[in-house]
Structure 1
Amino acid sequence: MTAITLIGAGGKMGYRLSRNLKSSEFETRHVENSPQARERLKADLGVDCMDVDEALAGTDAVILAVPDTLIGKVSHAIDDKLAAGTMVVTLDAAAPFAGHLPERDDLVYFVTHPCHPSIFNYEPTEEAQRDFFGGLAAKQNIVSALMQGPEESWALGEEIARTIYAPVNRSHRVSVEHMAILEPGLSETVAATLFATLREALDECVARGVSREAARDFVLGHANIELAVLFEEIDGVFSDAANKAIENGKPAIIRDDWKQVFEPEAIRESIRRIT
């Protein structure tokens, strides 16, 4: 049985992973510093945590379920306890991309991140439909990268990723560099910024007298159909009036050079701030 050590097992992300690993075929060893988080793991999942040295002895893989800012500190703290060939799994590309992992050619580094359930991911139950984050009931897709290590290590890494993010639909293999473009570049710098601006626009409509309920229903309904058209979920086109509004609105809202956020130096600077 493959042994996995989950560090940060009771944290925001670690708890989700602990829940999914509990019913897996892996032997999971849980490590958690917070007494409150350890109590929650025991009460909710029946999980007992272990001392880090005991947990790492003979482990096949280590999952670092800790914040980006702690990846470097934690990975270096356990470095001398990891045998050659051990797989180190991180849940985000930021710290590996920034070079915060130990320089160990004899370790396997695997990076994986969820795409989260799509807005077009229709589920048969209300629980699954309301699982916006994923890893509970709604299907989601994932991206993963074998940053270093032999090619045969990919299968174990992907199996771990599919387990901790289950239920998984598609699994995409990408590079760490491409993961960094996807996040923070695409998902946060661009998408989250535009969505936050959309919310500010809704608030501006309310400030100008439109009822909040009407504005919210109007913008979310239109967002649904507009995204379906733009991302080719349906066979449709915008009206002439909508195209004219986009033509007039884009230069008033979006800078001409906005795509520079995807330049390598911009991605590196964004990750530097994160980590």
Structure 2
Amino acid sequence: MTSNKELNPLFGKTVELDPSISVAVVGAAGKMGTRVSNNLNLTDAPVYYVEASEAGQQRLAELGREVTELEDAAKAADVVILAIPDVILGKVSEQVVPLMKDGSVLLTLDPAAAYAGLLTEREGVHQACAHPAHPSVFLERTTKEEWADTFGGIAAPQEVVAAYEGEDDAIRERTAAVIRAIYAPVIDVHWVTVKQLAQLEPTLVETTGCMIGQFLKDSMDHAINEVGIPEKAVKALFYGHIFISLTNALRGSNPFSDACLRAMDYGRESIINPDWTKIWDDAELDKVLATMLDLDKIER
């Protein structure tokens, strides 16, 4: 009989987690739910897979994973992972937290709902959040599998930033062990406050980094489609210069030339809003979180 580990697309990978720690994954067949479930499935720890949709349940069945009812999983697990969209985290936490046993951990994968105060709290149930950093642009990749793993959690090592504001070291260690398993292979777990994690994601990572990434493509597309420069020439010059720009600016690998610095100044004046640092204001963070969570505003 084929074991469910052999049905795992990551079969052959080693992921470690103390078998005494039981984990529930709510939304186990979703995008992030599938990623974390694939890694947890390779451990010897008890895993409860919770999935509401029929299509998702079918996908789990094809992987040999038994579906557990939400109520049963919430009562049994030491760590309950909510791998579901941000906009329903509050509602689902209302169902889950009252059922969880004392000393258990509610683990979310994005800080928006936690910082917005949408998660149900209960004495005896700890809350933590852990967001993957994804493999660094500067990661030294030594295999084809690592190169192909742009997201992380498969072959390329990545770091994780997590928030746990309690003072129980044993809970922190247990949570870290689960974090290292669900995002494996993990280089390190960095601990910050919930607010700091929200400032990093979305303000630094999405509002700044992802926006700039998309803007790079917009400018490249304009060069190809509107200016009419051959696509292969555009990509050849641009992709190489993107990397050298990042390593020069972020790691000081080489100095920018004087002419380049002047062009950079022109670009900043032409493209960047002079008051761009306002995105770091608490009020602005609440605005973007409200948009992400589909709320009129964040109530504090």
**Normalised TM-score (structure 2):** 0.88
Shift of 1:100: 0.8
**Structure 2: runs of 5 or more not aligned:** 1-19, 294-300
Counterpart-to-counterpart distance in 2, 1:105 and 1:48: 31
Q: Distance in 2 between matches of 1:86 and 1:124?
A: 38
Is the Cα–Cα contact under 8 Å of residues 60 and 66 in structure 2 kept in the other structure? Answer: yes
The aligned counterpart of 1:255 is 273
Distance 2:174 2:53 in 1: 29
Contact 2:97 2:121 in 1 (8 A): no
SS at match of 1:5: strand
Partner of 2:3: none
C-alpha contact 1:109 1:149 (8 A) present in aligned 2? no
CA distance, structure 2, for counterparts of residue 246 and residue 58 of structure 1: 56
With over 3 angstroms needed to count, the CA separation of the structure-2 counterparts of 1:53 and 1:249, relative to structure 1, is closer
Q: Deviations over 1:47-72 (max 9, x none)?
A: 11111222223321110000000100
* Alignment match, 1:245: 263
2:97 paired residue among 79, 93, 102:
79
Report 1:28-107 matches (<5 A). Answer: 28-44=47-63, 46-107=64-125
| 1:10 is the counterpart of 2:25 | no
Runs of 4+ residues over 4 Å off in structure 1: none
Q: Does 1:179 align with 2:193?
A: no
How far apart in 2 are the matches of 1:77 and 1:47?
23
CA distance in 2, matches of 1:19, 1:208: 45
Task: Count the aligned residue pairs.
Answer: 273
Kept after mapping to 2: 8 A contact 1:229/1:237: yes
Offset at residue 36 of structure 1 (A): 1.7
Residue 57 of structure 2 aligns to a residue whose secondary structure is helix
Of 63-72 and 33-42, more deviation after overlay is shown by 33-42
TM-score, L = length of structure 1: 0.95
Letter in 2 for 1:113: H
Q: Alpha-carbon deviations, 1:116-157, whole Å to 9, x = none?
A: 011111322212101110001111110011034623311011
CA distance in 1, matches of 2:219, 2:266: 17
Look up the equivalent residue of 2:227 and give its one-letter code. Answer: R
1:170 has 2:188 as partner: yes
**1:221 is aligned to 2:240:** yes
2:33 is the counterpart of 1:20: no
Q: How far apart are the structure 1 equivalents of 2:28 and 2:281?
A: 35
Is the 1:117–1:139 contact (alpha carbons within 8 Å) kept by the matching residues of 2?
Answer: yes
State the match for 1:127 in structure 2. 145
One-letter code aligned to 1:269? K
* 2:190 paired with 1:142: no
Q: Output the CA distance in 1 between the equivalents of 2:253 and 2:136.
A: 18
Deviation at 1:25, TM superposition (A): 3.5
Distance 1:217 1:76 in 2: 51
Deviation of the 1:170 alpha carbon? 2.0
The CA distance in 2 between the partners of 1:55 and 1:235, in whole Å, is: 50
Match of 1:151 among 161, 164, 169: 169
Preserved CA contact (<8 Å) 2:81 2:107: yes
Contact 1:111 1:147 in 2 (8 A): no
**Retained in 1: the 8 A contact 2:97–2:125?**
no
Deviation at residue 42 of structure 1 after TM alignment: 2.5
Q: What is the aligned-residue RMSD (CA, Å)?
A: 1.3
Q: For the residues of structure 1 that align with 2:141 and 2:253, how far apart are their CA atoms?
A: 22
Q: Percent identity?
A: 33
Q: Determine if contact 1:41/1:48 at 8 Å carries over to the other structure.
A: yes
1:91 partner amino acid: L
